[in-house]
Amino acid sequence: MRDRPIGVFDSGIGGLTVVKQLTREMPSEDIVYFGDTARVPYGTKSPSTIRKFSIENVLFLLNFDVKLIIIACNTSSAIGLPFLSKYFSVPIIGVIKPGAKAAIRATRNGRVGVIGTTATISSKAYEKEIKALNPGIKVYSKNCPLFVPLVEEGWAGDGIVDIAARKYLSALKEKKIDTVILGCTHYPLLKPAIQKVMGKTVKLVDSAEETAKEARNLLEACGLKYPGRRAGRSKFYVSDAPGKFLTVAKRFLGKDVKTAEQVKDV
């Protein structure tokens, strides 16, 4: 059981930010990653479509006899996780709760901002999670739909991101928040631009880091963490355009991905 891989899925490539943190946190674990590149983005789609895709992604990962599934996608975690946990017996975690907990730890003035895709922000998933853990915290949210395509285009360091960040975030800045949850897999790549607008004292919470820690705690608590030392292997599957995935992967993972297999029917 402890030898089995961890399954990770995302709507596309952004979940590699979670894989990066997972391999830091637990280098001996094997990982099977599925990126639904044929149907990305999820962030603009309806809850029923996002739930349907999420179920199909879980079913695909179950083919690999995974011991844990991590939904490395904020949109799918926000909308799919409560539903998936009811129907599957394999442990499934998402990125919302870890991010919410980290924000609660980080805030000093009890004012937290959340940014994400339109579907994530409309679901109010972060807000509900924060309020459930600490009802006194004030949460201010903003969807930033252009951030995902800007990152995918490779423009994370471009002036166009500064313009978009100013436009999206200036109202949030006026709320005097001291912590912002980067509630989308792509946003860690935009940290410099977001920090510039919000000011350098504002803490940016990266859900990917927190999720990797949560996964480790869960595996340890269930006695499922790989016990020895080895170099864990990662395998990558996508539903479309493996070539593009390989080209962009380095930006998210911090190192090259050598192969990604295209899956025909998910």
Nearer to ligand DGL, 110 or 145 (CB): 145
Closest separation between CB of residue 175 and ligand DGL, Å?
22
Closest separation between CB of residue 36 and ligand DGL, Å?
8
Closest separation between CB of residue 199 and ligand DGL, Å?
24
Nearer to ligand DGL, 28 or 247 (CB): 247
Interacting residue ranges for ligand DGL, rule: CB under 6 A = 10-12, 14, 40-43, 73-75, 116-117, 120, 148, 184-186
Between CA 70 and CA 79 the distance in angstroms is 14
Closest separation between CB of residue 176 and ligand DGL, Å?
26
- C-alpha pair distances (Å), 152 with each of 55, 146, 175, 223, 246: 25, 10, 29, 38, 12
Nearer to ligand DGL, 27 or 154 (CB): 154
Between CA 54 and CA 60 the distance in angstroms is 10
Burial 67-82 (b: 16+ CB within 10 A, else e): bbbbbbbbbbbbbbbe
Q: Known catalytic residues?
A: 73, 184
Nearer to ligand DGL, 40 or 161 (CB): 40
Closest separation between CB of residue 256 and ligand DGL, Å?
21
Between CA 41 and CA 19 the distance in angstroms is 19
Nearer to ligand DGL, 29 or 206 (CB): 206
For residue 189, give both structure tokens.
């790549």
